[in-house]
Amino acid sequence: MNSEARSPDGPSLRSLISGYETCQVVYVAARLGVADLLAEEPRTAEDLAQALHVDVGALQRILRALAALGLLAHLGGSRYALAPSGTRLRDGMPGSLRAVALLAGERSYRAWGGLLHSVRTGETAFQHVFGMGTFEYMAAHPEVAGIYNDAMAAGAAERAAAVVAAYDFSRSGVVVDVGGGHGALLIAILAASPGLRGVLFERESVTPGARVRIEAAGLDSRCAVVSGDFFRSVPREGDLYLLSHIIHNWDDRKSGSILANCRAAMSPGAKLLILEQVLPERFAPSPAAVHAAMADLHMLAITGGQERSAGQYQALLVAAGFTLTSVTGTAVAESLVEGVAI
């Protein structure tokens, strides 16, 4: 039997071990902008090397790997074309994953190299590798922060559509999106429910970009943008408080502080909605289980937070003054965890 054959439960062990190779090949292509240069027509490795100011021999080897991965089509000799699956590495295209590849190949790749330190100590690998926390690092490196924001926006339309389809927001009057970034999810929610009003709450460094996008969507008359720090307080008078990809960034103590601040701003009966990946109670080999486990380890390595099971979310909510009322799956990996203020 071929020792490299795919096992019934997933890829071969050797392919799992060498996953870092694929990450770096895709990262190099994203950083150089290979997909953008091939968008209009096929080109030779020599043409690309001249345009990119890189070594032609080394680039040729990268191009071969990209063709083997199905991201490029090798036309013979040194000529390559962009394959359909490679179009998502183009910059600025709908559904582009270029920023995701950049973030993975630079920041995340280095931090994951410290995962053993995290397992031995319980500390965040990012802090160990970079000497500061991830959000502190992004504040000091605006380019990385920009890549991070673009990466978080990747897939936002698909995620927002899934959330709107899974939950009836029209029952609320005012939705407060706590840590809502540039407002992609809140914009989709408001567009789907014309009678709804919104408040986007974010750090002062983020709110200018949010205002631009909300105005561009024609929603500025229905949506206020407020600056602040959710570790201190959040805006009052909302009927529904939304936390999308926020709680998983933090440990239980800091997550509890965010939830407590939301509860302090809410009247009894107001609702809290957490959008996160919810861990299964039991893990067995499957793509979904791998995705969940790796997402949880990513939080350990990068932020010091964690993904959680429904039971863990229930414990957090009860401690902050909520009753967990439902956990609703969506068409994407994340679920909606709903709580009611008591």
pLDDT tens digits, residue range 298-313? 999 999 999 999 999 9
| Confidence (pLDDT) at 2 | 47
Same domain, 71 and 141: no
Per the domain annotation, does 2 fall within a domain?
A: no
Residue of higher predicted confidence among 200 and 4: 200
Is residue 172 located within the same domain as residue 210?
A: yes
Residue % of the chain over a pLDDT of 90? 89
| In a shared domain, residues 179 and 309 | yes
One domain, residues 104 and 238: no
Q: Provide the phi-psi class of 269: left if phi over 0, else alpha when psi is between -120 and 50, else beta.
A: left
pLDDT at 118: 97
Domain of residue 63, residue span: 13-89
Residues 169, 277 within the same domain: yes
Alpha-carbon distance of 232 to 283, in angstroms, equals 37
DSSP state, residue 267: P
Concatenated DSSP letters for 285-316? SSHHHHHHHHHHHHHHHHTS---EEHHHHHHH
Q: Quick one: pLDDT at residue 29?
A: 98
Residues 204 and 330 in one domain: yes
Query: Is 298 a residue of the active site?
Result: no
Alpha-carbon span 263 to 241, nearest angstrom: 9
On whether residue 290 sits in a domain, the answer given is yes
Q: Could you tell me if 133 and 167 lie in one domain?
A: no
Q: Is residue 8 part of a domain?
A: no
Q: Answer yes or no: is 131 within a domain.
A: yes
Q: pLDDT tens-digit profile of 111-153?
A: 999 999 999 999 999 999 999 999 999 999 999 988 998 888 8
The mean of the pLDDT values for the chain is 94
Phi, psi of 339 (to 5 degrees): -130, 155
**Where among 152, 171, 195 does a domain terminate?**
152
User: Do 312 and 175 fall within a single domain?
Assistant: yes
- The structural domain count of the chain equals 3
Last residue of a domain, one of 152, 170, 188: 152
Is the same domain home to 206 and 294? yes
Q: Is residue 289 in some structural domain?
A: yes
pLDDT in tens, 176-229: 999 999 899 999 999 999 999 999 999 998 899 899 999 999 999 999 999 999
Are 144 and 160 in a shared domain? no
Residue 5 lies in a domain: no
Residues 315 and 277 in one domain: yes
Same domain, residue pair 201 and 274 = yes
Confidence of residue 82 (pLDDT cuts 50, 70, 90): very high
Task: Give start and end residues of each alpha helix (H) in the chain.
Answer: 13-17, 19-32, 34-37, 45-52, 56-68, 98-103, 109-112, 115-121, 125-130, 134-140, 142-153, 156-166, 184-192, 207-216, 252-265, 287-302, 310-320
Catalytic residue among 74, 141, 245, 248: 248
Those residues whose C-beta lies under 8 Å from the C-beta of residue 84, and which sit 6 or more positions away, are none
